[in-house]
Copies of this chain bind each other. A is one copy, B any other.
Amino acid sequence: MSTTSPATPGAETPAPPANTAAEQFAKRRRSPAQRVQHVLHAYPAISPLLVLVVSFLVFTYLNPNFGTLRTQSLILQQVAVVAALAVGQTLIILTAGIDLSVGAIAILAMLFSAKLSADSGLPGPLAVLVGIAVGTAAGAINGLLVTRLRLPPFIVTLGTLSVFTAMALLYSGGQSVQAGAMPDLMVWTGEIVNLGGLRITTGVFMVVLLYVVIGFVLKQTTWGRHLYAVGNDAESARLVGISVNRVLLSVYTIAGLIYGITAWILIGRAGAASPNAAADANLESITAVVIGGTSLFGGRGALLGTLLGALIVGYFRTGLSLAGVDDQWRVLSIGLLVIIAVSIDQWIRKVRA
């Protein structure tokens, strides 16, 4: 047994005698808590994962229905839209920005494509493209305002939040468009795929794909690298010759594109295009990003964390609901659980040795 765990400090293997003070320090006794902390620290994604697993067990104990594939698929569907929007939000927050217009853009894109297809009989593929184009254009407007006018992203997106919301309502007249009135492709994202009991919508798959693609781009490409550099220290990035404005513009535009895709997923999820569909999307998407460990000051964080952050909130909400916790108590518990979950994460990250 001693030979199978050579990496564990303080194992009973005959180690070479400690010959420096630091080595002696490394071989000191540690409390079990410290050991756990230490292991978890080596894999930063483990800690939110752990929170997920523990809450899975607890909530399933409270109501066995929680553990069923059925409920799990439900949570995935409930979380999908916020998780998708949070991809764009993550990109923007990584550049030390913030996007308050995420919900407004998604609604604008959704209503445009839905109404165009319902009223003027635009065919499905075109309608979907229109939605994505509207999202992209709206994101590009944010980006232009941020880079040309040099306004704080908070102000820009606060302004466009109003502008895009009003445009969506003026265009739609507050009317929602029902699924039946749209081409099939528009609601295709709500179609269920049965994966051996896990009944998941195609929309959920699209969200997973979004995470894979953007996660790859962030870690593996020049663009991702520059995005982190700009968020970390824009002046340094400028001095080493990165075109800060170009990076920022592309980030806001791509975020808009992601919101445009999310609009499509949202239609499938809601079974309709309604102007209130994503009212809380701003705070919820920012919450997922921050719980996922990305810094609001930019330059630090990872996309995987955002996904886990979105899932944690979904777990808490549905888990408490299935446990039969009443509305106000549920709100209270979610507040506490968020604080606790992030505290655990912080505690693990804090470890130094």
Complex contacts, A169 vs chain B, CB 8 Å: 328, 331
A287-B342 in contact (CB<8A):
no
Q: Which of A111-166 contact B (CB under 8 A)?
A: 145, 149-152, 154-156, 158-163, 165-166
CA distance A170 to B296 in the complex (A): 32
Complex contacts, A151 vs chain B, CB 8 Å: 339, 342-343, 346
B291-A335 in contact (CB<8A):
no
B331-A158 in contact (CB<8A):
no
Indicate the member of A166, A169, A295 with the most B CB atoms within 10 Å: A166
CA distance A38 to B339 in the complex (A): 48
How extensive is the interface on chain A, given as a class?
35 or more
A154-B332 in contact (CB<8A):
no
The yes or no answer to A167 lying at the interface (CB within 8 A) is yes
A332-B155 in contact (CB<8A):
no
A346-B290 in contact (CB<8A):
no
A332-B167 in contact (CB<8A):
yes
The yes or no answer to A216 lying at the interface (CB within 8 A) is no
Main secondary structure of the interface of A (DSSP, over half): helix
If A169-B328, A328-B170, A331-B165 touch, whether A339 touches B159 (CB-CB below 8 Å) is yes
CB distance from A267 to the nearest CB of B (A): 22
The yes or no answer to A334 lying at the interface (CB within 8 A) is yes
B346-A149 in contact (CB<8A):
yes
A334-B162 in contact (CB<8A):
yes
B290-A154 in contact (CB<8A):
yes
A328-B152 in contact (CB<8A):
no
Q: Who on chain B is nearest to A286 by CB?
A: B154
Q: Which of A277-296 contact B (CB under 8 A)?
A: 283, 286-287, 290-291, 295-296
Contact string against B for A residues 165-202, beta-carbon threshold 8 Å, 1 for contact and 0 otherwise: 11101100000000000000000000000000000000
A sample of 24 cross-chain residue pairs with beta-carbon separation below 8 angstroms, ordered by A number, consists of: A96-B297, A149-B346, A150-B350, A151-B342, A151-B346, A152-B290, A152-B342, A154-B296, A155-B291, A155-B342, A156-B339, A158-B287, A158-B290, A158-B335, A158-B338, A159-B335, A159-B339, A161-B335, A162-B331, A162-B335, A166-B331, A166-B332, A169-B328, A170-B328
12 additional A-B residue pairs with CB within 8 Å, beyond A158-B283, A166-B331:
A96-B297, A98-B296, A151-B339, A152-B342, A154-B286, A155-B339, A158-B287, A158-B338, A159-B339, A163-B335, A163-B336, A170-B329
A contact set with B: CB distance below 8 Å: 96, 98, 100, 145, 149-152, 154-156, 158-163, 165-167, 169-170, 283, 286-287, 290-291, 295-297, 328-329, 331-332, 334-336, 338-339, 342-343, 346, 350
Q: Which 4 A-B pairs have the closest CB atoms?
A: A162-B335, A166-B332, A159-B339, A163-B335
